[in-house]
Amino acid sequence: MLQAHSFLWSYLWVAPNVFLLILGFLIWRRGLGRKMPAFLAFAVLSATGDIAAFLADVTPSVTAENYWRILWAGLLVESLLKFLVIGEVFSRLLDQYPAIARLGKLMVSGLGAMLVLLAALIAAFAQGDSTKSLISGAHLLEQTVFIIESGLILFLFSFVAYFHLWWDRVSFGVLLGLGISSFEHLATWAIIANASPSANVRTLFAFLNMATYHFCVFVWLYYLLVPQKVTAKSSFPPPDNNLATWNRELERFLHQ
């Protein structure tokens, strides 16, 4: 059952993308596309690219080289869209908190530049797992993209936790799914690109990647389509506090 091109293999390759296309359609129907245009584009284009790669894989007339070219194209588009989705989620989050929006944008820009440098450095030192540059290049690109993506997602979660911000349900769900997928894929691609595992292990990693992605699509379906539970209200006035006094003192201290 855990063989390449088995029924389970085909299901795990195609089904999450079909679900993602359905999600994209429902997002568009419910008007969520205006709030999350990058995620809508990601859902539609990424799923279409993956299905195209699957069709190229199973169609005998498509050569191996052309299959890898299709995969490359899909990978480049998907990577760009994922970064747009991360940016979109961060903007949605910071728009609610103007007091720290500037700091957040400065930090994410600086971290993004550092991650690009780090990922490029790691790629430069990687052994490469194939004599064909088209294949090893694709694996290194996967690793590079997942390093940057994972770093940015980890930063966003840490930033939110440090400042005790509240996620809106949609942003949280989108980033949670993307986070689980990117950390799992980073681990497997790092091993594939640097440790030259056997063909059997690669096949198992492919199953793990596809199963994780399937799970993440369910996470997106849940958070984007199932409404949040309404909790009982218990209105109370905010407590007295001396935050303004402390801010004055700390700003004076920072200016010394």
- Interface residue list for other proteins (CB under 8 A): 97-103, 122, 125-126, 143, 147, 150, 153-154, 157-158, 160-167, 172, 176, 179-180, 183-184, 186-187, 190-191, 193-195, 231, 233-239, 241-256
Closer CB to other proteins, 47 or 86, in the complex: 86
Closest C-alpha to 89, from 172, 183, 177, 163: 172
CA distance readout (Å), 131 to 66, 127, 136: 17, 10, 7
Q: In 164-240, which ranges are continuous DSSP H helix?
A: 169-195, 199-225
CA torsion angle for 103, 109, 111, 115 (degrees, to 10)? 170
For the four alpha carbons of 125, 127, 132 and 134, in that order, the dihedral sign comes to negative
CB of 203 to other proteins, least distance (A): 18
CB of 157 to other proteins, least distance (A): 5
CB of 22 to other proteins, least distance (A): 24
CB of 144 to other proteins, least distance (A): 11
Closer CB to other proteins, 7 or 166, in the complex: 166
CB of 15 to other proteins, least distance (A): 23
Residue pair 40/17 in contact (Cβ under 8 Å)? The answer is no
Residue pair 213/181 in contact (Cβ under 8 Å)? The answer is yes
Closer CB to other proteins, 52 or 122, in the complex: 122
Gap between the Cα atoms of 69 and 52, Å rounded:
11
Closer CB to other proteins, 60 or 98, in the complex: 98
Closer CB to other proteins, 5 or 248, in the complex: 248
CB of 8 to other proteins, least distance (A): 24
CB of 17 to other proteins, least distance (A): 23
For the four alpha carbons of 63, 68, 69 and 75, in that order, the dihedral sign comes to positive
Closer CB to other proteins, 1 or 244, in the complex: 244
DSSP structural state of residue 237: P
Closer CB to other proteins, 26 or 101, in the complex: 101
Gap between the Cα atoms of 27 and 39, Å rounded:
9
Type of residue found at 239: P
